[in-house]
């Protein structure tokens, strides 16, 4: 954006930081919000975006995605993934280290940052992956949103499951540690017990609720021992949520995915291996307990864990199918549809999908529509419903577990750093996001 670029969003229903709505105008200059008022006059008409009938929310910060570049670009790449983000109202993302090569040192982090600077339509940040022997890199690399530890459901160097190897990572430094909490030894044992079963529903039995709880308890134990900042990724079970309700130190946060709130084990009958992810989908009762924990603040925010795999890979037949599903194009409308149903409020959604991740990861000037904040914004249409259609998806993998779902709250316009990156079906692929700062 050139320094003189200005934009006026006119007549939007603006979500203010105090959770109230104001019908009015937002003035943007140099990528920042500089004025919010019922009416702002004397503005050049060619710089005015008419938002009558639309609701203006802070852009979504998706704090857990897998975008596959470098090395796995047949599934997705940073350009296609960021196009999907722009369409979904996601203006910033935090991406995981299980690419090829793994993101485990400064050189591989720099490579991702360079690629993102060239290709990404939205703002980006990257995790550094823990291995058994890269402790010094975990502490030294910059910029990163935090250390990712796969306690389970991984293989190769990124799997760090033994307490003896985990403990020094928790004991050293103060950088945020984000854990994929599944007990790898239990997974290995149960894979043997259930060997030979090709019904993908068995995935939820193999990697059962205890598998998740065991690892969450271990991560909490180590975090408490060293008072180490811990984030528990994609909480999937009611037992973990209830455990955290009883005992969640102030320095611990957690998140839930839309699919763990809205899909459950009945999905295997309808979409087979497209429902396969790690940690797996759970029973409908778990959906309810996770929702309550989110509403009560035990769970802090929402992440998609977007992890695309091709339809050919998903057709291989369980257990040869990879786990994971796409999500950034549908997360905001999925959650806003629940808000309109009365399950929560629209400000709750903005708190869980924008402000919450910004606070947890110390990302300055993002996550709210406030003076001096970055103009990362999304205008959503809360009056109309449209289905999730495969042919409209921008992700390279080309499918969604939510196909056919009738949703409201679809983004009409997405703005990144004051520039319109998506406008009613049209992408501006010239827009580039920025590397996120973590204070
Ligand atoms: O299902 C998953 N797939 N969960 C993860 O955490 C990783 C992901 C992947 O990278 O495919």
Segment 284-309, tens digit of pLDDT: 999 999 999 999 999 999 999 999 99
Q: Which helix (H) or strand (E) holds 139?
A: helix 135-140
Say yes or no to pLDDT of 5 above 90. Answer: no
Q: What is the DSSP string of 295-328?
A: HHTSS-EE---B----HHHHTS-TTSSPP----T
pLDDT at 4: 55
Cis peptide upstream of residue 70 (ω within 30 degrees of 0): yes
Query: How do strand 377-381 and strand 410-416 relate by DSSP bridges?
Result: antiparallel
pLDDT at 2: 46
pTM score above 0.95: yes
Segment 221-232, tens digit of pLDDT: 999 999 999 999
Catalytic sites, residue numbers = 305
Distance CA 206, CA 199 (A): 12
Mutate to test the pocket of ligand 1, among 62, 98, 99 (most ligand atoms within 8 A of CB): 98
Segment 340-391, tens digit of pLDDT: 999 999 999 999 999 999 999 999 999 999 999 999 999 999 999 999 999 9
Say yes or no to pLDDT of 280 above 90. Answer: yes
List the one residue out of 330, 177, 364, 160 whose CA is nearest residue 259. 330
The residue-averaged pLDDT of 389-401 equals 98
309: CA distance to ligand 1 center in Å? 9
Cβ atoms 97, 128 nearer than 8 A: yes
- Residue whose tokens read 């091709």: 310
Our answer on whether the CB atom of 92 is closer than 6 Å to any ligand 1 atom is no
Our answer on whether the CB atom of 66 is closer than 6 Å to any ligand 1 atom is yes
Segment 135-173, tens digit of pLDDT: 999 999 999 999 999 999 988 999 999 999 999 999 999
pLDDT at 3: 41
Our answer on whether the CB atom of 286 is closer than 6 Å to any ligand 1 atom is no
Instruction: Report phi then psi at 67, rounded to 5.
Output: -110, 5
Distance CA 267, CA 265 (A): 5
Largest pairwise CA distance in the chain: 72
Take residue 379 and report the two structure tokens written for it. Answer: 């205008």
Task: Tell the residue nearest (CA) to atom 10 of ligand 1.
Answer: 307
Distance CA 416, CA 215 (A): 37
| Residue 347: how many other CB atoms lie within 10 Å | 18
List the one residue out of 251, 204, 244, 245 whose CA is nearest residue 226. 251
Distance CA 139, CA 135 (A): 7
Q: Which structural domains are found in the chain, ordered by start?
A: 6-56+371-427 (2.30.40.10), 59-360 (3.20.20.140)
């Amino acid at each position: 954006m050139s320094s003189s670029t200005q934009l006026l969003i006119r007549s939007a229903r603006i979500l203010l930081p105090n959770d109230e709505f104001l019908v009015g105008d937002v003035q943007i200059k140099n990528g920042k919000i500089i004025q919010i008022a019922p009416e702002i006059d004397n503005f050049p008409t060619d710089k005015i975006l008419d938002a009558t009938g639309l609701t203006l929310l802070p852009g979504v910060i998706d704090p857990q995605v897998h975008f596959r570049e470098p090395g796995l670009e047949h599934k997705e790449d940073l350009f296609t993934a960021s196009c999907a983000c722009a369409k979904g109202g996601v203006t910033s993302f935090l991406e995981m280290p299980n690419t090829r090569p793994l993101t485990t040192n400064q050189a591989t982090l720099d490579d991702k940052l360079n690629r993102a600077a060239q290709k990404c339509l939205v703002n980006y940040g990257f995790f550094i992956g823990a291995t058994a022997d890269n402790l010094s890199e975990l502490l030294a690399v910059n910029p990163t949103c935090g250390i990712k530890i796969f306690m389970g459901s991984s293989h190769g160097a990124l799997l760090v499951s033994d307490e003896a190897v985990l403990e020094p990572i928790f004991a050293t430094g103060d950088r945020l540690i984000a854990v994929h909490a599944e007990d790898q030894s239990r997974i290995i044992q149960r894979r043997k017990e259930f060997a030979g079963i090709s019904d993908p529903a068995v995935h939820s039995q193999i990697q059962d609720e205890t598998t998740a709880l065991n690892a969450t308890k271990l991560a909490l134990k180590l975090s408490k021992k060293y008072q180490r900042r811990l984030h528990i990724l994609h909480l999937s079970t009611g037992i973990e949520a209830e455990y955290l309700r009883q005992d969640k130190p102030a320095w611990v946060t957690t998140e839930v995915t839309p699919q763990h709130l809205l899909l459950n084990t009945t999905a295997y009958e309808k979409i087979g291996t497209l429902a396969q992810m790690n940690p797996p989908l759970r029973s409908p009762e778990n959906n309810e307990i996770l929702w309550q924990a989110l509403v009560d603040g035990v769970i802090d925010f929402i992440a998609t864990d977007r992890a695309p795999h091709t339809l050919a890979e998903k057709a291989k037949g369980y257990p040869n199918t990879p786990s994971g599903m796409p999500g950034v194009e549908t997360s905001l409308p999925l959650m806003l549809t629940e808000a309109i149903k009365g399950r929560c409020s629209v400000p709750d959604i903005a708190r869980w999908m924008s402000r919450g991740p910004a606070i947890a990861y110390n990302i300055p000037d993002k996550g709210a529509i406030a003076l001096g904040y970055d103009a990362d914004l999304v205008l959503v249409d809360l009056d109309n419903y449209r289905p999730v259609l495969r042919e409209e998806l921008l992700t390279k993998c080309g499918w969604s577990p939510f196909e056919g779902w009738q949703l409201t709250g679809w983004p009409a316009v997405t703005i990144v750093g004051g520039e319109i990156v998506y406008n009613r079906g049209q992408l501006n692929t010239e827009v580039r996001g920025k590397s996120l700062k973590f204070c």
